[in-house]
Amino acid sequence: MAQTTQIESVEDLLLEADRLVVEASKGKSRNEQLIAAQAKVAALPADQRKNDHADVIELRAQVESARQSLKSASDNPVSRGMVYTCIFLSMLLMFLVGSLSLVYNKGVALLSEVQTLAAQQPDRRFGQLERQLLVAQDDLFSPDQMQLATLPVELGGKPEDPKAPVKRPIDELARESSYLTLHELRDLNFKLKSLETRVGDFENLSASPFPGVMKLETFVSTAMASGRNFVEVFKTADVTAGLHSAPTKPVDAGNAETAKRASAGNDTMNFFCQAQPAAKLESKDGKLVDGATTQATSQAELALQASESQVLGMDMRKIVDQACKYSLNYVSMTVPSVDSWSLRIKDSIDPYAVWILPCLYAALGSMIYYMRLILDTTQPNPPVYRIAHRMALAALAGMILAWFWGPTFGSNNEFKSVGFGLFTFAFVVGFSIDVFFALLDRLVFISTNAISKFGGS
């Protein structure tokens, strides 16, 4: 806010007039009376610049009038309403940008983990470890080897001595190698299962990054559906029966239970290893299957057929039994494709990188610009239509910038040297829209020069 103290010196009065001329001209027409009074005092000789001079008195009156005008412009109720509106929009944008940036960063980190695992070809490694462990079990823990292991170890004596006990063969190195193989197989199994769960959770998170909003929407839709049901019952004059009838489950609740059953039966090894409950359903081929694992039947069909056959001399039934014994979630023929996880994660984070986050960062930058403008109490607060127009323009500029980023700016050395990323640049463009227009002018200049070379010798 402008100072209200009395200015004694004529020179200080001229400086104050200069400041008011500059500040008062922002956002509205110039104060011509103040400028004229200032010019008259500035033209006076030094010996005539006194407080009792008529021109100095006129300048002092114009300075006070300009102060009051600026003060009233910043204290009107409409301007205060704009301040509260800007504060609300700033907090809302801060929440949106922070929440969606967190989702995007989780996706980028998860994509990096999945790509690192995909480079190690986990499906091939899983099958290799699976076969190595099966062969080691047959060699080291066969019935003959286990029977010999119960005999004592002979540390002395001669082989021709009939009283000498039979020596027990000990291959501790081979056993330790089999233990290491088991640990590596279980570790790879845990890593695959953990990533599979996290990929599914991230897909759900990216589809609905604000669970509270989705719960509110579900509540409203359920309440509206219940209200419609009540109205229909009332119209049919069967209110008593309608009120005492069994409560109907909302559509979303049924979908949630179906999703739970699918996720519970989605693990192929659950279909093979866990005991079947009492409730049975008849499948298409006439076999009785559990109702909870009916959805898993189609997913486990390939492994079920393989378990009854030989694959390259390996008994797949033994492999399935081995997986059940060591609590593995997969066998070699049911290991999921890690490359498909990468594609699914990219599909989830692409909308965030292409338009959602660039638009929000640019809009936040434009809001920061107006918040700074509101802090200057010597200037009138911007009307709401200017704020809305500037935010829409900044969001559009951020989206256009994201389109150009990969082929044009992402590999540019100038941007790399200052450490500019897409979101940082979108924020800067939103704060100062002139940067975006300067960028477009530069692209127009480059395009014009390129087109002018067509047809040249």
Is residue 263 assigned to a domain?
no
Query: Are 333 and 130 in contact, with CB atoms under 8 Å apart?
Result: no
Judged by phi (left if over 0) then psi (alpha if -120 to 50, else beta), residue 27 lies in left
Alpha helices in 164-293 (DSSP H): 172-207, 211-235, 239-244, 251-265, 268-273
Q: Would you state the pLDDT for residue 417?
A: 54
DSSP code of residue 241: H
User: Is the same domain home to 48 and 87?
Assistant: no
Number of neighbours of residue 354 by Cβ within 10 angstroms: 16
CA dihedral 101, 83, 392, 355 (to 10 degrees): 0
Composition of the chain by helix, strand, coil, percent to 5: 70, 0, 25
Alpha helices in 352-383 (DSSP H): 357-375
Q: Would you state the pLDDT for residue 250?
A: 46
Domain boundary among 75, 103, 120: 75
Is residue 259 assigned to a domain?
no
Domain range holding 430?
79-92+347-450
The closest alpha carbon to 363, from 395, 408, 319, 334, belongs to 395
Token duo for residue 412: 């540019």
With pLDDT > 70 as the criterion, what percentage of the chain qualifies?
Answer: 59
Query: Are 117 and 191 in contact, with CB atoms under 8 Å apart?
Result: yes
User: Is the same domain home to 46 and 88?
Assistant: no
User: Is the same domain home to 83 and 62?
Assistant: no
Domain boundary among 75, 106, 129: 75
At residue 410 the predicted structure's pLDDT band, cuts being 50, 70 and 90, is: low
Domain boundary among 75, 105, 131: 75
Is residue 237 assigned to a domain?
no
The closest alpha carbon to 355, from 311, 402, 406, belongs to 402
Q: What is the C-alpha to C-alpha distance for residues 400 and 364, in angstroms, rounded to an integer?
A: 16
Is residue 294 assigned to a domain?
no
- Tell me the pTM: 0.62
Is residue 341 assigned to a domain?
no
**Mean pLDDT of all residues belonging to the chain:** 74
User: Is the same domain home to 56 and 88?
Assistant: no
User: Is the same domain home to 64 and 85?
Assistant: no
With pLDDT > 90 as the criterion, what percentage of the chain qualifies?
Answer: 22
User: Is the same domain home to 405 and 440?
Assistant: yes
For 200-235, write each residue's pLDDT tens digit: 999 999 888 886 665 656 666 776 777 666 556 545
Domain count, the chain: 2
User: Is the same domain home to 14 and 42?
Assistant: yes
Alpha helices in 236-336 (DSSP H): 239-244, 251-265, 268-273, 294-307, 316-325
User: Is the same domain home to 14 and 88?
Assistant: no
Q: What is the C-alpha to C-alpha distance for residues 243 and 101, in angstroms, rounded to an integer?
A: 47
The closest alpha carbon to 7, from 350, 202, 19, belongs to 19
User: Is the same domain home to 18 and 69?
Assistant: yes
Residues in contact with 160: Cβ distance below 8 Å, sequence separation at least 6, in sequence order: none
Q: What is the C-alpha to C-alpha distance for residues 29 and 317, in angstroms, rounded to an integer?
A: 88
For residue 382, which amino acid is it? Answer: P
Q: Would you state the pLDDT for residue 145?
A: 56
Q: Would you state the pLDDT for residue 387?
A: 87
Is residue 400 assigned to a domain?
yes
Q: Residue 290: in which H helix or E strand, if any?
A: strand 288-290
User: Is the same domain home to 85 and 16?
Assistant: no
Q: What is the C-alpha to C-alpha distance for residues 79 and 94, in angstroms, rounded to an integer?
A: 22
For 168-191, write each residue's pLDDT tens digit: 555 666 678 888 889 999 999 999
User: Is the same domain home to 70 and 83?
Assistant: no
Q: What is the C-alpha to C-alpha distance for residues 167 and 61, in angstroms, rounded to an integer?
A: 118
For 308-336, write each residue's pLDDT tens digit: 566 666 777 888 888 888 888 888 888 99
Q: What is the C-alpha to C-alpha distance for residues 42 and 59, in angstroms, rounded to an integer?
A: 10
